[in-house]
Structures are given as structure tokens and as C-alpha cells.
């Protein structure tokens, strides 16, 4: 390889939106002649794609950026950039730009296509603070380098209009904007032609797709994606319970390539707290969606997000959450301690919950969910289904892992299978909370 080729290293924090944005930045850089570096030390350009959804993400980032000062002192030509959601908070990016003099570039979530211009200015000796507005038009046609060659994220919409009172996303990702269905389908067709078999449609609230641009609605979009030859699995996230329609549940049942999994954040099991969160549903509505999904979509699994210690959450509210988790039986759950985000409504609410109480509630909730995960796993003894192979056990590469259509992960003897391939796997036992199985051969 040409020794003069410049190299990039991108460190990504946060959700799939950021993962996808990093793929686009990689594509833009590749077009500029860069190649991927395998470590920050080897790179000429280091980019941090940041998240600010919880405090934890910020602290980690600060430590990592601070640590790069040494690298920059040793090799001053290294360009260091920070982008993504956290930088989209103007006061944070300005403070950041002033404080970390070894950072050459700060930019937000909407200027990926302008990256080459910023780099040109930096090579002319400037530092660049280029955070732009959050409601920019959808830009099509940005090149990208995808992380995987069998499974792809496809954005269907950007931003969020929901303003859940705890959440910073609407402030850093702007108003909801849907991509045109023709553009989405064109992208998916070309992915299928390139050999991709699994597609995950991405949006903060995919169920409201098409609301803003008068395009087809989400169930119809799913049906059209289902018609793309070559695809085997269509996934989507995230679903908001307030917009999850019966029509969508029917579309999941009717379209054979649409996977039987829904990530459906419940956030709380207390109606009082759900109201304070501005979620626009109550527990009754939530459980009725779950019931309908289970009676309509075969072997469906439901995963969720839950926040503990939202302002004003009493022991009784928390007990409601525990009871809901006990009753619903999620396949798995991401659980979080409420983290006040500057500028959000909940950050200014009275009755903020002490850290120790949040920690104690989180511990109880996790213990319950671990038990529920295990209980749920028990029903898989003897279950047979197709698995998409995602990787190999880091300690034993003869063991592969992958997911059933409903998102349940299973480990099994690899038998020569490669990442991206499909195998029929029968689950046998539950070990350390995960499913163990074996590849099923036709004549077994």
C-alpha cells in the first residue's frame, strides 16, 4: 500500500444512528483517499463520534480525548476531530473547543458531507468549530463504508418530535424528517444486489415514518422492503408504543421476511411516571400491544428499555415497574438510571431521586430481569430455527454465535460455518444465561 495514504480512525459512541453516521464519514473519507487505520496511533485523522444521552457517555469521552494530548504532542500532524450528538449542544462544543486545544475540529450531526472542506481548512493551519443547525434537509447520496458485508443499517428517518421529558435526542437530532420511500428502496435494492441479506431500518420512532413528508406509512414501507429479492431478514428500531398500530402488527405477520422481534421501550410501569415522561401511553395500552403481538406474530420476542429513578419516582411507582417486568416477561431489557440532561424538562423537575436510591432500584430491577431472561430461555429447549452467524466466541473460535429471527442469540459448534451464513440450529440447553445448541443437518 502507498505509504503516503492517509489513515482515519473513528471511535463511535451511542446508538445505531451514530454507528451509521460513522459509516458515512468513513465513506466520505475513503473518497478523499483515506484508508482505515487499525489503531489511533497509526491514524492521521482521529474522529470521536459522540453520544450525550446519559452522563456516563460524556465522562468516558472526556477521559479518552484528554488522553490523546500525548499522542498529538508526539505527532502534531495528527488531526483530532469530535463530532456527533454531544457536540450538537452548542455550549458544550464551544466549551470543549476552548478547553481541548489539541482538538482540531468540532462538528455536529448534520455536516458529514462537509468533512473534506473542514479537513482542507485544518491542513491550511486552522482549528475548525463547525457545528451547524439540527434541522438540515435530508441529504442523499453520501458514500459509505459499511462495517459488515451481510447486515446493513438503513436510515428511514432522522430526528424526533416526541420530547420525552428525560430525553436530549430531539435537541441534538432535530425535528423528525423521513427519507423518501423511493430513496430508501433504491438503497435497499442495491444492498441486496451486493449480497446483503439482513436490513435494519433505523429511526428514533419508526412507527411514525411518513408522517412528515406525506409518504407511505411504515407498514406499507415494510411490505415494499419485503418485496426486495435477495433479502432474508428485515428488522427495525426503535418502536414507540404510542404509534405502534394494529396495522403494523398485521404487517409483521403477513410479510415473511420481517423478523418477529420488536424493541419496544416501556420506560416505566407506572402510569403516573409515564405521564410525567410525556410518553402518551399507559401500562394498559402497553400490555395490550404486547398481547396482540404475541397472539398475532409467531414466536415473537419483545425487548425493552427501562429507566429507574425518574424525578418523583416513589417506591410504589418502582414497584409498578417491577410488577410489569414480572408480568410481561421481556426477552431482555436495557436498564438505566435516570440521568438529568441539561435543557430537558425532567432535569428541572423537583424531587430528583438520590443516586443511592437509583442504584439500589437498578440492582433490584436487573436481578429480576436476569431471572426473567433465564425463565424465558427455558422455553427454547428443543427449539429449531434459522440463525444468521454473527461471530465466534473470543475464547474458542470453534464456537459460533448468531441470532434467530426473533433476536434470541444462540451459541453452537461452528462446523466450518462463516460469518454472514445461515444455518438451522436447534437449541439444547441454557448455559450462563445464554442458549447453547447445535447445527441441524438435513438427515438428523
Q: Which does 163 bind (CB under 5 to 8 A by kind): ligand SAH, ligand SF4, ligand F3S, none?
A: ligand SF4
Q: Closest Cα to residue 158, out of 180, 141, 143, 142? A: 180
Site string for ligand SAH, 223-252 (x = CB under 6 A): ---------------x-x------------
Asked whether 388 and 197 are in contact (CB, 8 A), the reply is yes
Q: Is 51 in the site for ligand F3S (CB under 6 A)?
A: yes
Give the DSSP H/E element, type plus range, for residue 31: helix 16-31
Cβ nearer to ligand SAH, comparing 51 with 231: 51
Cβ nearer to ligand SF4, comparing 274 with 435: 274
Is the preceding omega at residue 238 within 30 degrees of 0, hence cis? Answer: yes
Least separation in angstroms between CB 291 and ligand F3S = 29
Least separation in angstroms between CB 235 and ligand SF4 = 17
Asked whether 39 and 109 are in contact (CB, 8 A), the reply is no
Q: Which region, judged by CB under 6 A, interacts with ligand SAH, from 42-50, 81-89, 162-170, 291-299? A: 162-170
Q: Is 330 in the site for ligand SAH (CB under 6 A)?
A: no
Asked whether 206 and 244 are in contact (CB, 8 A), the reply is no
Q: Is 388 in the site for ligand SF4 (CB under 6 A)?
A: no
Q: Is 269 in the site for ligand SAH (CB under 6 A)?
A: no
Q: Which does 305 bind (CB under 5 to 8 A by kind): ligand SAH, ligand F3S, ligand SF4, none?
A: ligand SAH
Q: Alpha helices, DSSP H only, in 236-354?
A: 246-254, 271-276, 283-296, 315-328
Q: How many residues does the chain have?
A: 444
DSSP three-state, residue 171: helix
- Exactly one of 43, 167, 222, 225 binds ligand SF4 (CB under 6 A); that residue is 167
d(CA 161, CA 395): 44
Cβ nearer to ligand SF4, comparing 8 with 166: 166
Q: Which does 52 bind (CB under 5 to 8 A by kind): ligand SAH, ligand SF4, ligand F3S, none?
A: ligand F3S
Cβ nearer to ligand SAH, comparing 22 with 339: 339
Cβ nearer to ligand SAH, comparing 110 with 238: 238
Site for ligand F3S in 68-107 (CB under 6 A): 85
Q: Is 206 in the site for ligand SF4 (CB under 6 A)?
A: no
The DSSP letter of residue 287 is: H
Give the DSSP H/E element, type plus range, for residue 192: helix 181-193
**How do strand 399-403 and strand 409-413 relate by DSSP bridges?**
antiparallel
**How do strand 157-158 and strand 177-178 relate by DSSP bridges?**
antiparallel
d(CA 172, CA 339): 16
Cβ nearer to ligand SF4, comparing 169 with 251: 169
d(CA 239, CA 206): 6
Q: Which does 170 bind (CB under 5 to 8 A by kind): ligand SAH, ligand F3S, ligand SF4, none?
A: ligand SF4
- Exactly one of 8, 9, 10, 14 binds ligand F3S (CB under 6 A); that residue is 14
- Paired with 425 in beta bridges are 385, 439
Phi and psi at residue 70, in whole multiples of 5°?
-60, -45
Least separation in angstroms between CB 308 and ligand SAH = 9
Q: Is 270 in the site for ligand SF4 (CB under 6 A)?
A: no
Q: Is 267 in the site for ligand SAH (CB under 6 A)?
A: yes
The DSSP letter of residue 88 is: G
Cβ nearer to ligand SF4, comparing 115 with 248: 248
Give the DSSP H/E element, type plus range, for residue 116: helix 115-123
- Exactly one of 305, 386, 390, 428 binds ligand SAH (CB under 6 A); that residue is 305
Asked whether 330 and 303 are in contact (CB, 8 A), the reply is yes
d(CA 444, CA 440): 6
Tell me the site size for ligand SF4, rule CB under 6 A: 10
Instruction: Write the DSSP assignment of 217-239 as a string of letters.
Output: -HHHHHHHHHTSTT--EEEEE--
Least separation in angstroms between CB 158 and ligand SAH = 12
Least separation in angstroms between CB 310 and ligand SAH = 8
Q: Closest Cα to residue 86, out of 157, 10, 18, 9? A: 18
Measured at the CA of 423, the angle between CA 420 and CA 425, to 5 degrees, comes to 130
Residues binding ligand SAH (CB under 6 A): 53-54, 166-167, 169, 204-205, 238, 240, 265, 267, 305, 307, 336, 338-339, 341
Q: By the criterion CB under 6 A, which residues form the site for ligand F3S?
A: 14-15, 17-18, 51-53, 85, 169, 172-173
> Rule CB under 6 A: which residues touch ligand SF4?
160, 162-164, 167, 169-170, 204-205, 240
Amino acid at each position: 500500500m502507498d505509504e503516503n495514504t492517509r489513515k482515519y480512525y473513528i471511535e463511535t459512541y451511542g446508538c445505531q444512528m451514530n454507528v451509521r453516521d460513522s459509516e458515512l464519514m468513513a465513506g466520505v473519507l475513503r473518497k478523499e483517499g483515506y484508508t482505515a487505520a487499525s489503531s489511533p496511533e497509526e491514524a492521521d485523522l482521529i474522529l470521536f463520534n459522540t453520544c450525550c444521552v446519559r452522563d456516563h457517555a460524556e465522562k468516558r469521552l472526556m477521559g479518552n480525548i484528554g488522553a490523546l494530548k500525548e499522542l498529538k504532542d508526539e505527532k502534531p500532524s495528527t488531526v483530532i476531530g469530535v463530532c456527533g450528538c454531544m457536540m450538537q449542544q452548542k455550549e458544550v462544543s464551544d466549551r470543549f473547543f476552548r478547553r481541548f486545544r489539541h482538538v482540531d475540529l468540532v462538528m455536529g450531526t448534520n455536516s458529514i458531507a462537509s468533512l473534506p472542506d473542514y479537513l482542507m481548512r485544518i491542513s491550511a493551519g486552522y482549528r475548525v468549530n463547525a457545528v451547524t443547525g439540527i434541522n438540515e434537509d435530508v441529504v442523499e447520496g453520501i458514500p459509505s463504508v459499511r462495517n459488515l458485508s451481510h447486515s446493513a443499517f438503513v436510515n428511514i428517518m432522522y430526528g424526533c418530535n416526541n420530547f420525552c421529558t428525560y430525553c436530549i435526542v430531539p435537541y441534538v437530532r432535530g425535528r423528525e424528517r423521513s427519507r423518501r420511500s423511493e430513496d430508501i428502496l433504491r438503497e435497499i435494492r442495491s444492498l441486496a444486489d451486493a449480497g446483503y441479506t439482513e436490513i435494519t431500518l433505523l429511526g428514533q420512532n419508526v412507527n411514525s415514518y411518513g408522517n412528515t413528508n406525506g409518504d407511505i406509512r411504515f407498514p406499507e414501507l415494510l411490505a415494499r422492503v419485503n418485496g426486495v429479492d435477495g433479502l432474508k431478514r428485515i428488522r427495525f428500531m426503535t418502536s414507540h408504543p404510542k404509534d405502534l398500530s394494529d396495522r403494523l402488527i398485521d404487517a409483521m405477520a403477513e410479510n415473511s421476511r420481517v423478523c418477529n422481534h420488536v424493541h419496544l421501550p416501556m420506560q416505566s410501569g407506572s402510569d403516573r411516571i409515564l405521564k410525567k415522561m410525556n410518553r402518551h401511553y399507559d401500562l394498559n395500552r402497553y400490555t395490550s400491544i404486547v398481547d396482540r403481538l404475541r397472539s398475532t406474530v409467531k414466536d415473537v420476542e419483545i425487548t425493552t428499555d427501562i429507566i429507574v429513578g425518574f424525578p418523583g419516582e416513589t417506591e410504589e411507582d418502582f414497584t409498578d415497574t417491577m410488577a410489569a417486568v414480572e408480568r410481561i416477561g421481556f426477552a431482555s431489557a436495557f436498564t438505566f438510571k435516570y440521568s438529568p440532561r441539561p435543557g430537558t424538562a425532567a432535569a428541572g423537575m423537583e424531587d430528583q431521586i438520590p443516586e443511592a436510591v437509583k442504584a439500589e432500584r437498578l440492582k433490584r430491577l436487573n436481578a429480576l430481569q436476569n431471572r426473567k431472561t433465564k425463565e424465558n430461555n427455558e422455553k427454547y429447549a428443543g427449539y429449531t430455527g434459522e440463525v444468521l452467524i454473527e461471530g465466534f466466541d473470543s475464547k474458542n473460535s470453534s464456537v459460533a454465535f448468531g441470532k434467530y429471527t426473533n433476536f434470541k442469540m444462540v451459541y453452537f459448534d461452528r462446523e466450518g460455518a462463516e460469518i454472514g451464513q445461515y444455518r438451522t440450529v436447534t437449541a439444547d440447553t441454557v448455559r450462563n444465561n445464554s442458549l447453547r445448541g447445535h447445527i441441524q443437518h438435513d438427515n438428523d
